[in-house]
A and B are shown apart, each in its own frame.
Chain A
Amino acid sequence: DQQVKQNSPSLSVQEGRISILNCDYTNSMFDYFLWYKKYPAEGPTFLISISSIKDKNEDGRFTVFLNKSAKHLSLHIVPSQPGDSAVYFCAARPGNTGKLIFGQGTTLQVKP
């Protein structure tokens, strides 16, 4: 049972445009959501997070939106840069635990 789903395995965007990465979840007990970025042969790097009490969090070019009623979150990258090309994982935390449930990842390619 995949509680966190990233239904798009890949996304290709032109440099300078917006990248939108999507993530859906099924467990209403998730209270904290995170996005990670991963380059080949490296561990994931934390990008940005959002608490379930918020619907938006922004950090520079990265913005995460949370729609609790739809159980959906998205990561917007504006403007996209070639260095953003990587695999992006969303993750969710069941309330009052230290565990994270990860999606399958979406490979983003930003073309110059």
Chain B
Amino acid sequence: SQTIHQWPATLVQPVGSPLSLECTVEGTSNPNLYWYRQAAGRGLQLLFYSVGIGQISSEVPQNLSASRPQDRQFILSSKKLLLSDSGFYLCAWSLGQGQPQHFGDGTRLSIL
């Protein structure tokens, strides 16, 4: 069966520091991969999605970037974090466009 792993579960970072959040999927090949952010009291906002290695689509302009160096690895990064980057970050995968997305347990990011 397929599983998705995100780490770390929580992270506290100072403003201006870099960020790297990692997500890996096991048990499937060539999944679609997604990064979402949930701000306090709001729904999930799609940040990035990828349909293959090296293929990244950005949904909203922001201080973050994503990379997919391997088939089942998706990384969310920033060179300099802002206070507004605080939130709950979720990685998800799906088998294809017509299939449900399945989420990891998320990373709670707090910027001080």
Which residues on A are within 8 Å of B, measured CB to CB?
A: 4, 6, 32, 34, 36, 41-46, 49, 89, 91, 93, 96-105
Contacts and interface: CB of A to CB of B under 8 A. Distances in A.
A52 B55 CA distance: 29
Interface string B20-33: 00000000000010
Interface in B55-104: 59, 90, 92, 94, 96-98, 100-104
Interface of B: 6, 9, 32, 34, 36, 41-46, 49, 51, 59, 90, 92, 94, 96-98, 100-106, 108
A89 B51 CA distance: 24
B103 A45 contact: yes
Contact of B44 (A49, A93, A96, A102): A102
Contacts, number: 55
Contact of B90 (A43, A46, A91, A104): A43
A22 B34 CA distance: 25
Nearest to B10: A41
A97 B101 contact: no
Contacts of A97: 97
Given A41-B108, A42-B106, A97-B97, A105 B43 contact: yes
Interface centre among B32, B49, B103 (most CB of A within 10 A): B103
A103 B42 CA distance: 8
6 contacts: A42-B105, A44-B44, A89-B43, A98-B34, A98-B97, A103-B43
Contact of A49 (B9, B42, B100): B100
A41 B9 CA distance: 9
Contacts of A4: 43
Contact of B102 (A46, A101, A102, A105): A46
